[in-house]
Amino acid sequence: MKSDKKVSAAVIQRLPRYYRYLGDLLDNDIMRISSKELSIRMGITASQIRQDLNNFGSFGQQGYGYNVATLYDEIGRILGLDKSYALILIGAGNFGQALAGYPYFARRGYSFVALFDNDPEIIGKTVGGVEVLDVVSLPQYLQTHHVDIAVLTLPGYVANQAACILANAGIKGIWNFSGTDLHVPLGIIVENVRLTDSLMTLSYMINEDEIIRRALPKSISTESVD
């Protein structure tokens, strides 16, 4: 039975990774796997896997492991992948167009139904089969169309203005690539994706590794071994 305790953000962030690995197992006709075998593939402990999954119910059997297809379907349901979602995108520049044209989203049930921009050279263009509309028509569009998630790929200085329009229209989910913090009412879920933060984390780790490698000779004895 599912626990009533609040599931941590760290566990939620690992769920898509479980889903991806289980999908790979199914693609390779692997129908059963133990937490130990899964831990080796994923690089996390078997104990962590069991703890994570126990937040949502009892999926494995002692001595048998996990039914891969069942666990894959259950995690998909937990992630809401048993539903379809209508997305709009605001800011149809190069990056926005790349997102809107990415076919993987549609295969997972995330379909872009409208794109918006203020550039006359972009308005009217078709991306992934969807026409780019003038952003001034956004409020009217939201009044007459159902939208589940709004994707912001526009400059930060106008992101909060767009977020205000979305909030007033009752949009509950915003995928925010603008690089700025949004000020939205309670009840609106914002998932921030800051690409530069991820890149800076990578550069930190590269430099930390360089520092460690430079320090190693000083800490390792250079005495010869007979």
Mean per-residue pLDDT for 13-34? 96
Give the confidence band of 61 by pLDDT, cuts at 50, 70, 90.
Answer: low
Model pTM score: 0.84
Q: Whole-angstrom Cα distance, residue 173 to residue 162? A: 13
**pLDDT over 70 for what percent of the chain?**
91
Give the confidence band of 212 by pLDDT, cuts at 50, 70, 90.
Answer: confident
Q: Which DSSP letter does residue 187 get?
A: T
- CATH 1.10.10.10-classified regions of the chain: 9-78
Give the confidence band of 220 by pLDDT, cuts at 50, 70, 90.
Answer: low
DSSP codes, 91-143 = --SHHHHHHHT-HHHHHTTEEEEEEEES-TTTTT-EETTEEEEEGGGHHHHHH
Which of 106, 105, 119, 97 lies closest to 177 in space, CA to CA? 97
Inform me whether the pLDDT recorded for 204 exceeds 80.
Answer: yes
Q: Which CATH superfamily is domain 85-196 in?
A: NAD(P)-binding Rossmann-like Domain (3.40.50.720)
CATH code assigned to 9-78: 1.10.10.10
- CATH 3.40.50.720-classified regions of the chain: 85-196
